[in-house]
């Protein structure tokens, strides 16, 4: 597994955007997909907001996905297995790069057909605790015509990343403006931030 972590870190160091194709196993990815659809059926996914704390608002013209926060208190074995993988990655990252990450927050994200998230930065103006953004995709048999790419901007350059199953993307939360382009079919991920509080 450390080879996977090293690929994610080294590709980030090379280009500001770390990518690894298989951050989670096929089995865990399938369980996470099933869990997300189960949450949808139970009406537990909530419209995602913009901002934090008292400034949290909802604006479907900017962001139209629905989310559910992962929490060990949910006592779901597959959420916990994903968080175990994050714990192992954070330990490796801190050990190899001295990043001082002290915590994290992750949620399931479902972009239904026609959903998007306009250009934004992941770090709040009044809170710099989010250090790295990290997205793991859960989309089987994703095709170019399905849309839903993550588009990351760095100056005049734009990098489009297809949200293919088990791929993980990793970048600095305060550095790169990005957006989720309109998805033409349901698009699933576990999205989160590594924090230094």
**Residues ≥6 apart with Cβ < 8 Å to 26:** 166
pLDDT in tens, 88-115: 999 999 999 999 999 999 999 999 999 9
| pLDDT (0 to 100) of residue 58 | 66
Contact 82, 28 (CB under 8 A): yes
CA atoms of 120 and 142, how far apart (whole Å): 24
**Residues ≥6 apart with Cβ < 8 Å to 157:** none
Structure tokens at 40: 């949808």
Ranges of beta strands (E only) in 41-166 are: 46-47, 66-69, 103-111, 117-120, 130-137, 150-154, 157-161
pLDDT in tens, 150-188: 999 998 899 999 999 999 999 999 999 999 999 999 999
pLDDT in tens, 144-158: 999 999 999 998 899
pLDDT in tens, 41-70: 999 999 887 766 555 566 667 888 999 999
Q: Which residue has the higher pLDDT, 133 or 1?
A: 133
- Count Cβ atoms within 10 A of the Cβ of residue 57 and give its class: 0-12 exposed, 13-18 middle, 19 or more buried: exposed
Report the chain's C-alpha Rg in angstroms.
16
Structure tokens at 75: 């006592």
H helices of 16-76, where? 26-41
| Mean pLDDT across 105-126 | 89
CA atoms of 129 and 100, how far apart (whole Å): 11
Task: Count the Cβ atoms, other than its own, within 10 Å of residue 68.
Answer: 21
Q: Is the pLDDT of residue 84 over 90?
A: yes
Q: Which residue has the higher pLDDT, 36 or 59?
A: 36
């Amino acid at each position: 597994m450390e080879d996977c972590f090293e690929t994610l870190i080294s590709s980030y160091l090379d280009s500001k955007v770390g990518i690894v194709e298989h951050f989670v196993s096929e089995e865990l990815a399938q369980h996470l997909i099933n869990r997300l659809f189960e949450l949808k059926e139970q009406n537990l996914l909530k419209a995602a907001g913009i901002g934090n704390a008292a400034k949290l608002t909802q604006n479907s013209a900017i962001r139209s996905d629905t989310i559910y926060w992962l929490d060990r208190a949910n006592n779901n074995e597959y959420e916990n297995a994903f968080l175990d993988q994050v714990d192992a990655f954070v330990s490796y990252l801190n050990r190899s790069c001295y990043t001082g990450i002290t915590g994290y927050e992750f949620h399931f994200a479902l972009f239904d057909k026609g959903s998007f998230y306009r250009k934004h930065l992941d770090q709040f103006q009044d809170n710099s605790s989010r250090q790295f953004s990290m997205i793991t995709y859960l989309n089987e048999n994703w095709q170019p015509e399905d849309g839903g790419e993550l588009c990351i901007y760095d100056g005049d350059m734009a990098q489009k990343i297809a949200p293919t199953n088990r791929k993980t993307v990793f970048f600095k939360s305060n550095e790169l403006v990005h957006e989720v382009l309109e998805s033409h079919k349901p698009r699933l991920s576990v999205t989160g931030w590594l924090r230094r509080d």
